[in-house]
C-alpha cells in the first residue's frame, strides 16, 4: 500500500468521504452502465439492492435493537454519513464501510443510499472496514483479533504497519492477535462479554491445561481485572506446586519399590487408589512365598 493510502487510513474515514452529495435520480438508463454514471470520489445516490456486503467485514454481530433505533433516526434525518463502496461490475457494488447503516436503511425502507465509490484492493477494503469499526468502538476483541490476523496472514503486513494504519501501538496489535490462542471456552466467554480482554490476557499467562479451570473461577467469583492478576499469580504458583508434589511422589514411589524389591528379592509394585493404595509383591512358587514371608517377619 502506498504512503498516500496509509496516510488516508491514519486520518480516518473523513479523508475518504467528501461532504458534498451529488444526487443521481435516473439510475436505469440502458445507454450508460450504472457504475460509469457515478462520480468516483463524490457522494452519489445508489440503488440499495445493487450493494453487496463486504466479505472482509470483521464484525460478526449486529445488535437488533440498535439497528431499529438507527432505522428510526434514518427515517427522520436520512443517512448523515455516506457509505463507501467499490464497483464490482457495471451494475453491482461491494460495500467497504457502513454495513450497519446499510442494514438500518433497509429496515427504514430506503430504496437508495448515499455512497462514495472508491477503487480499492482487498487489503485496503479490509483496512477500511477495520478502521470504521475501530473508530466507533463497535468491534468485539475477538473480531479485531481475527481482522488483524487476516492482515498478517493474507497480506503479509507487520504488526507495526497495521498499528500505523489503524492508529494503534504495535504492542496493542500483538496483544490483540494473541487472543486467538485462548481455549475455545475462553474465546466464547470473551465473545459473550463474560470476561474482558484484560481477563483474557491473564488467562494466556497460564498453562493451557489450567486456563479453563481459572476461567470458571473468574466467572464464578466475578473478579475484576486487578483481582484476576493477583489470583493468576497464586493460581499459577499452585499449579507449579501441585506438579512438583506429583513429581516428588512418583520419585518416592519408585525408590520404595526399588528398595523393597531388593530386600525381598522379587518384583514389588505400588498401586495408587483414591484412598491410599496397594502393595503388590510377586512370587513364582510356594517355596518362594515361604521365603518372602520369612524375610518379612525377620526369620531369615
Residue 281 near residue 261 (C-beta atoms within 8 A): no
User: Among this protein's residues, is 72 annotated catalytic?
Assistant: no
Beta strands in the chain (DSSP E): 21-22, 43-47, 51-52, 83-87, 93-97, 112-117, 268-272, 277-281
Q: For residue 194, count other CB atoms closer than 10 A to its CB.
A: 15
Distance CA 257, CA 113 (A): 81
Catalytic option among 45, 99, 127, 132: 99
Bridge-based pairing of strands 112-117 and 43-47 is antiparallel
Residue 129 near residue 61 (C-beta atoms within 8 A): no
Residue 266 near residue 292 (C-beta atoms within 8 A): yes
Closest CA to 182 of 213, 212, 162: 212
Contacts (Cβ under 8 Å, ≥6 apart) of 199? 190, 218, 223, 225, 228
Give φ, ψ of 79 to 5 degrees. Answer: -90, 115
Distance CA 277, CA 186 (A): 37
Grid cell, residue 200, equals 483474557
Bridge-based pairing of strands 83-87 and 277-281 is unpaired
Residue 145 near residue 177 (C-beta atoms within 8 A): yes
Rg of the chain's alpha carbons, rounded to an integer? 33
What's 168's DSSP letter?
Answer: -
Grid cell, residue 248, equals 516428588
Q: Which residues are catalytic?
A: 99
Amino acid at each position: 500500500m502506498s504512503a498516500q493510502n496509509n496516510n488516508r487510513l491514519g486520518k480516518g474515514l473523513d479523508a475518504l468521504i467528501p461532504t458534498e452529495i451529488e444526487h443521481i435520480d435516473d439510475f436505469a438508463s440502458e445507454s450508460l452502465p450504472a457504475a460509469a454514471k457515478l462520480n468516483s470520489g463524490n457522494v452519489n445516490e445508489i440503488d440499495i439492492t445493487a450493494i453487496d456486503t463486504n466479505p472482509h467485514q470483521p464484525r460478526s454481530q449486529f445488535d437488533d435493537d440498535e439497528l431499529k433505533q438507527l432505522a428510526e433516526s434514518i427515517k427522520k434525518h436520512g443517512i448523515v454519513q455516506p457509505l463507501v463502496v467499490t464497483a464490482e461490475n457495471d451494475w453491482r457494488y461491494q460495500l467497504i464501510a457502513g454495513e450497519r447503516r446499510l442494514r438500518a436503511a433497509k429496515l427504514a425502507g430506503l430504496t437508495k443510499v448515499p455512497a462514495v465509490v472508491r477503487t480499492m484492493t482487498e487489503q485496503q477494503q479490509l483496512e477500511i472496514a477495520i478502521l470504521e469499526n475501530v473508530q466507533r468502538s463497535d468491534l468485539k476483541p475477538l473480531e479485531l483479533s481475527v481482522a488483524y490476523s487476516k492482515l498478517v496472514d493474507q497480506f503479509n503486513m507487520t504488526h507495526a504497519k497495521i498499528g500505523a494504519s489503524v492508529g494503534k501501538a504495535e504492542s496493542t496489535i500483538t496483544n490483540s492477535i494473541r487472543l486467538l490462542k485462548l481455549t475455545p471456552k475462553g474465546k466464547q466467554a470473551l465473545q459473550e462479554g463474560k470476561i474482558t480482554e484484560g481477563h483474557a490476557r491473564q488467562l494466556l499467562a497460564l498453562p493451557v491445561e489450567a486456563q479453563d479451570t481459572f476461567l470458571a473461577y473468574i466467572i464464578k467469583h466475578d473478579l475484576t481485572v486487578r483481582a484476576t492478576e493477583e489470583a493468576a499469580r497464586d493460581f499459577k504458583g499452585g499449579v507449579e506446586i501441585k506438579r512438583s508434589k506429583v513429581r516428588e511422589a512418583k520419585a518416592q514411589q519408585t525408590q520404595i519399590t526399588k528398595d523393597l524389591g531388593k530386600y525381598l528379592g522379587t518384583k514389588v509394585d505400588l498401586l495408587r487408589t483414591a484412598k491410599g493404595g496397594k502393595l503388590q509383591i510377586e512370587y513364582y512358587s510356594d517355596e518362594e512365598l515361604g521365603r518372602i514371608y520369612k524375610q518379612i517377619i525377620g526369620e531369615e
